[in-house]
Amino acid sequence: MKAKKLLAVLLSVVMAFALVACGDNGGNSSNSGNSETKEEGTSGGGNKIGIAMPTKSLERWNRDGSFLEEQFKSKGYEVKLTYSDNKIDQQVKDIEGLLADGVNLLVVAAIDGESLSQVLAQAKEQNVPVISYDRLIMNTDAISYYVSFDNYTVGKLQGEFVRDKLDLDNQAGPFNIEFTAGDPADNNAGFFFNGAFDALKSYIDAGKLVVQSGQTAFDQVATQQWDTSKALTRFQNILGSNYADKQLDVALCSNDSTALGVTQAIESDYKGDKTKVIVTGQDGDEANLANIVDGKQTMTVYKAVANEAKVTLDLGVAILSGKKPDESLIKESGWDFECSYDTSSYDNGTGVIPSYLLVPTVVTKDNIQKELVDTGYYTMDDKGYPHPVG
Ligand code: BGC
């Protein structure tokens, strides 16, 4: 008798909890989609996601924006997506607009990692958590998490590719190399450059690799806004001043938008054998993959941004449900790709930001099919050129 009474009391407590939980979600009932995740993601945390992307002019952000939008929407969230035309003031205004709109979570890929402290202080005041997406946002304690690829490894893969391609451990050289890096306002750019430079430094020190321009410091090789035409002009100057009668062996470019400019400069201004120049990149932009197929670019480091968006979604859902995500998110989410939880590498000036880091892949002409097409990220047209899906 006693046991039955206890069971009844327990049951009523459980039911009361269940009712309270349903009540919490009542306000979100207009959301369609996967109700299971929706309940977990929105209870107490709201359902409006603000996504601030830097620009439509650099190919990858279009993909990031649409993957993020699509994924959050598919779980029943309302999404506000902004692009800020690579203009810092515009991005500040856009984020202010998102906050005024009542977003419950911000996902921000910064144009300038140093310029968002004030507007993000506002986010913190409004209790809006912020995920720093792909690029680390500096000098603000408003950031909860960072989601990106292992940026140093991206550069390292480029450097190691060059080392292996030239067989630097066995060949005497000397080979000529020039570096082109990214936007100094983007915290990633230094990581990419350092990763590549560190992988090649011992060969430069040994005189096996020579930088004829003498430009080996990040500030000398950086490209404002990752702009293709700026990379083109700088490289034309380098070719004109240093390679009129010399062979260029490597153009180490941090990403595809800069590689595109450098390739154009080689096409127009390099007198030597263009097919022999090793050109690196990053992202798998459509034009660059076409150049890889045509032999004008040698490799790109591919980062599956669809997976970066997936991590951001699961992280966002967990944050909004009041959890404090950590390493266990990786297991719980059951992603079919590699991702690590890092609590030491990315200090934004206010402390280390817990980071989820995905793993980049080297893509060359030989493995485009396997890495990009068979995996479903790209389709191949009947002329043999890949095109991104989504
Ligand atoms: C991204 C790269 C991209 C570059 C320019 C970086 O922050 O990590 O993937 O190539 O910005 O858009």
Question: Which ranges constitute the DSSP H helices of 243-389?
Answer: 256-269, 286-294, 305-320, 328-333, 368
**Hey, whose CA ends up nearest to atom 5 of ligand 1?**
226
Task: Write down the pLDDT at residue 341.
Answer: 98
pLDDT range class, residue 20, cuts 50, 70, 90 = very low
Mean pLDDT, residues 121-149:
97
pLDDT tens figures, 137-165: 999 999 999 999 999 999 999 999 999 99
Neighbours of 16 (CB within 10 A): 10
Whole-prediction pTM value?
0.88
Distance of CA 68 from the midpoint of ligand 1 (Å): 16
| Residue 46: per-residue pLDDT | 82
- Of the chain, the end-to-end C-alpha distance in Å amounts to 62
Residue 204 to residue 168: CA distance in whole angstroms: 10
Whether the Cβ atoms of residue 28 and residue 38 lie closer than 8 Å to each other:
yes
Alpha carbon of residue 235 to chain centroid:
25
Atom index in ligand 1 nearest the CA of residue 254 equals 10
Strand partners, 80: 50
pLDDT digits (tens, 9 = 90+) for 296-347: 999 999 999 999 999 999 999 999 999 999 999 999 999 999 999 999 999 9
Measured CA to CA, the distance from residue 260 to residue 293 in angstroms comes to: 14
- Tell how far the Cα of 282 is from the centroid of ligand 1, in angstroms: 8
Q: Relative to the CA of 148, which ligand 1 atom is closest? A: 8
pLDDT in tens, 171-211: 998 999 999 999 999 999 999 999 999 999 999 999 999 99
In sequence order, the β-bridge partners of residue 132 are 108, 146
Residues with CB under 6 A from ligand 1: 58, 60, 134-135, 182, 186, 188, 226, 255, 257, 282-283, 303
Cβ atoms of 388 and 377 within 8 Å: the answer is: yes
Q: Provide, for the chain, the percentages of residues in helix, strand and coil under a 3-state DSSP scheme, each rounded to the nearest 5.
A: 50, 15, 35
